[in-house]
Amino acid sequence: MHKITVTIWQVSIYIVLTTTLFVIIGCNGKSRNDTQTSSGDNKWYSPAARDSLCELMVGQWINKEYLDELIATRSPLKASDKLRNLGEFTIERLDTNPNELGWKGSDFHCGDGGIIELVRNDSLVFSNMRLATDKKNTLYFPDPDIEYAEESKEFVRLDNFTGYINELILAGTYSDVDAPENKLVFSPEGTVHGLNNFNKIDFAGKKNDMPYEVILDCFLSLFDQLCIGDYCSKSGHSFYIYDNSDHNLEIYSITYNDNDPWDVKGVLLYKLRRVGS
């Protein structure tokens, strides 16, 4: 299993980061007064500086307070208590304007988004996003739903968001407590192998690997859930409640009540134990 790490701010990383930021701030060869010009070419970075800046900003970002709680509890439901609104967002380059980036994000249920103007400045603040100068892969962003938000939330960039979440929450090999020879394997890449030996789960007849997803949208949910199958495919999908406390993984069916929007834990389908624990 791959080792999950939280970003470590080593001296060597700091040197590389500050060198890159020095290039971004200084490579245009302009005075401080010039950088504050509100019109003309002085408003924007040179192409080289802009490319360096994009390398630091483009990617998927996650609310650090939420991520810390997710690491501590391995429960999206419990971690959601740390979310006020924005939980994650993605920054990407736009074909329409080289001096703008697009961002779109969500609280894992409802979305938001906007444009980031890369106006040249020494503070590295762009459309209210502030790029950290002392930490790699870190920026600060106020809540976009609060007009005059003074508190900025810290966000960290993850190279592989889905893989990170999968490995943190579920990825691993599990054996059936009642039939240890039957094993279920959840990969970091988002596939589950071995369903043919677990006939209480839909798609049990499938010998091929099936996709799975850890559900981060906890709206109207009282339990952590996973989806097995392709949500967007005609082949179908099914949702299950899971409990991954300690070294066990318990998988439950879900009971739905037309008169109650909240999900209800159904029967225990399987109790699994992580292999090697």
Domain boundaries, the chain: 11-159, 164-274
pTM of the model: 0.78
Under a CB-based contact definition with an 8 Å cutoff, are residues 88 and 106 in contact?
yes
Give the pLDDT score at 146: 52
Ranges of residues in the chain whose predicted pLDDT is under 50: 1-23, 25-39, 148-149
End-to-end CA distance of the chain: 12
What is the distance between the alpha carbons of residues 165 and 8, in angstroms, rounded to a whole number? 18
Dihedral pair phi/psi, residue 200, rounded to 5°: -85, -5
Give the pLDDT score at 190: 95
Closest CA to 17 of 133, 113, 177, 167: 133
**Which alpha helices (H) appear in the chain, and where do they start and end?**
11-26, 32-35, 47-57, 64-73, 76-79, 161-169
Give the pLDDT score at 261: 63
Give the pLDDT score at 6: 35
